[in-house]
Amino acid sequence: MTEEQLRLWFVQKVSEESGLERSMIYDGEPFSRYGLTSMQAVTITGDLERMLGRRISPTLLWENPTIEAAVRVLTSTG
């Protein structure tokens, strides 16, 4: 999955979980701006695990609090 595909996936998921339009979701804004609860963040992480077929830390969105930061971590080779 490319960075752009992953970014778009995050925008869609945050939109679904927050009830906001996709056009209201910005890469550099903290997830907390969208009112996501910790349960919603864990749900997004679980969906991400299934989609990517690998284990993802349940604290991913806490440690990387923007779409931009989470995508960067998920696509880094290291």
Q: What is the pLDDT confidence band of residue 1, given thresholds at 50, 70 and 90?
A: confident
Q: Hey, what domains does the chain have and what are their CATH numbers?
A: 3-75 (1.10.1200.10)
Q: What pLDDT score was predicted for residue 53?
A: 94
- Residue 15 CA to residue 17 CA, distance in Å, equals 6
Q: What pLDDT score was predicted for residue 46?
A: 95
Q: What is the pTM of this model?
A: 0.91
Q: What pLDDT score was predicted for residue 63?
A: 95
5-51: per-residue pLDDT in tens?
A: 999 999 999 999 999 999 999 999 999 999 999 899 999 999 999 99
For 75, other C-beta atoms within 10 Å of its C-beta total 12
